[in-house]
């Protein structure tokens, strides 16, 4: 059993470093073919926080000769959460609403195919001090 009295907080902080913080992410939104109110370069500076998606490995239980055998099943990810600062004219919000309406427009009930509105996004963790 480790000696608790020997724990040194300064040594711990030196080994751990700054760690990943909510403000140490780089995200530049990629818009599909829409008339965006804010360009991609300006949207970078409106990102407030970002959260990397967590992952889970679902369990599959198989019955074999009266015993339950548990195996790894489907790998799932949670949603990516990105918080934006909204500018005075809400340009970033309007752009996301246009994107949402491209998926499904609630006024005319028009749906587009996924290849029209799906765009790869990139969320990158930055090193402290960069």
Residue 130 within any structural domain of the chain:
no
87 within a domain of the structure (yes/no): yes
Answer yes or no: is 92 within a domain. yes
pLDDT at res. 3? 60
Number of structural domains (the chain) is: 1
Is position 99 within any domain? yes
Task: Spell out the per-residue pLDDT of the chain, length 130, in tens.
Answer: 556 567 777 777 777 666 656 567 788 888 888 888 888 888 887 887 777 788 888 889 989 888 999 988 888 888 888 888 888 888 888 988 988 998 998 899 989 888 888 988 888 877 765 5
For the chain, how are helix, strand and coil distributed in percent, rounded to 5?
A: 25, 30, 45
Range of the structural domain that residue 30 is part of: 18-52+79-125
Report if residue 5 sits inside a domain. Answer: no
**H runs (alpha helix) in the chain:** 9-16, 40-44, 91-103, 114-117
**Contact indicator for 48, 83 with CB cutoff of 8 Å:** yes
Domain assignment present for residue 115? The answer is yes
Residue 41 lies in a domain: yes
Whether residue 73 is contained in a domain is answered as no
């Amino acid at each position: 059993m480790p000696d608790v009295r020997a724990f040194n907080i300064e040594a711990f902080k030196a080994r751990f470093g700054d760690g990943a913080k909510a403000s140490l992410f780089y995200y530049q939104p990629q818009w599909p073919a829409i008339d965006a109110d804010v360009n991609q370069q300006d949207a970078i500076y409106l990102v407030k926080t970002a959260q990397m998606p967590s992952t889970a490995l679902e369990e599959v239980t198989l019955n074999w000769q009266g015993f339950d055998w548990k195996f790894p099943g489907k790998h799932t990810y949670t949603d990516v959460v990105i918080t934006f600062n909204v500018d005075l004219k809400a340009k970033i919000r309007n752009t996301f609403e246009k994107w949402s309406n491209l998926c499904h427009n609630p006024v005319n009930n028009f749906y587009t195919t996924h290849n029209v509105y799906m765009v790869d996004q990139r969320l990158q963790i930055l090193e402290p001090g960069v």
